[in-house]
Amino acid sequence: MARKTANDDPLAPVTLAVGQEDLLLDRAVQEVVAAAKAADADTDVRDLTPDQLQPGTLAELTSPSLFAERKVVVVRNAQDLSADTVKDVKAYLGSPAEEITLVLLHAGGAKGKGLLDAARKAGAREVACPKMTKPADRLAFVRGEFRSSGRSATPEACQTLCDAIGSDLRELASAVSQLVADVEGTIDEAVVRRYYTGRAEASSFTVADRAVEGRTAEALEALRWSLATGVAPVMITSALAQGVRAIGKLSSARGGRPADLARELGMPPWKIDRVRQQMRGWTPDGVAVALRAVAEADAGVKGGGDDPEYALEKAVVTIARAARSRGRG
């Protein structure tokens, strides 16, 4: 979910949306446009790319209107504006026009940082739209989507949905909307699996689950399906690493109730139960072997090898064998 500054008025003279998460950037724009149209249904909205905002264009768009109409001017990829246009924008920031809301979408980073700094110095309302690269961030996003819709979903349901859909926030948001529209009451894991079972089988976490359970053939099948449907190899190595580390953490922890172990290990209680089932057959040596396999695969998919798919297959087979190491001993 996008984070906002203390100045949370969408009709502030200038809104600065910073980040590279397209869904959040679009929502930042939609929020401003919706507020403007609520204030004036005839609001004129201009949505511009850098090549459409030439020197002098902003002054033309923000010049006083005979009818004093409300206007929203959206500038996408503001970091790519030409130097002369940046001068125009900076000048406008010093004296924004009434009844006009300027929305600057900026990727962040070093490129175009002067404009970013100028907008912040001018007191622009800022909305953070960072790319959600961590599974925990996407899980929090899904939970937030359910909360904002006024619906409840179990932790297992949220995790299963993330596993099934993957890293695309638009698809995650769409899936939540569909579930909210179609399902009454609390949304649980069984419902999510019924709706997205095909996608779940193709997820990186399904690959990891089958591997740490020692189910080699199923893990390889899920791996090939995942790659064929566009799951990034680095997401698969991340899921494998999480799966093996969870086995290692729980196997070295003292016995206790899931709730106590959850606090100790930083896992939700439902995951403690799942990992307990998966860790049968594992030995400390097996965990060490699996972790080395994950590290080698990670290097392979990040440019250290010629064939990322082979690196992943090798890791999956090694992990699945390690999962059965106690039985072989």
Q: pLDDT, tens digit, for every residue of 28-73?
A: 999 999 999 999 999 999 999 999 999 999 999 988 765 667 899 9
- Whole-number pLDDT of residue 124: 95
pLDDT at 24 over 90: yes
CA pair distance 78, 18, nearest whole angstrom: 10
Q: Mean of the pLDDT values across residues 301-315? A: 85
Report which of residues 306 and 287 the model is more confident about: 287
Query: SS3 for 283?
Result: coil
Write the DSSP symbol of residue 71. Answer: E
pLDDT at 190 over 90: no
- Whole-number pLDDT of residue 162: 85
- Whole-number pLDDT of residue 186: 95
Instruction: Record the tokens describing residue 163, joined without a space.
Output: 């596993």
pLDDT level of residue 198 (50, 70, 90 thresholds): low
Task: Name the pTM for this structure.
Answer: 0.60
pLDDT level of residue 329 (50, 70, 90 thresholds): very low
The dihedral through the CA atoms of 151, 155, 158, 160 has a sign that is negative
CA pair distance 186, 80, nearest whole angstrom: 45
Give all domains of the chain, ordered by start, each with its CATH number: 14-129 (3.40.50.300), 135-196 (1.10.8.60), 204-323 (1.20.272.10)
Residue 1 C-beta-side C-alpha neighbours within 13 Å: 11
Q: Cβ(102)–Cβ(61) under 8 Å?
A: no
Q: Mean of the pLDDT values across residues 154-177? A: 87
Q: Where are the beta strands (DSSP E) in 95-227?
A: 100-106, 125-129
The b-or-e profile of 28-41 (16+ CB within 10 A means b, else e) is bbebbbebbeeeee
- Whole-number pLDDT of residue 4: 53
pLDDT level of residue 238 (50, 70, 90 thresholds): confident
- Whole-number pLDDT of residue 206: 85
Q: pLDDT, tens digit, for every residue of 68-121?
A: 678 999 999 999 999 999 999 999 999 998 889 999 999 998 999 999 999 999
Q: How far is CA 13 from the centre of its chain?
A: 29
Q: What percent of the chain stands above pLDDT 90?
A: 55
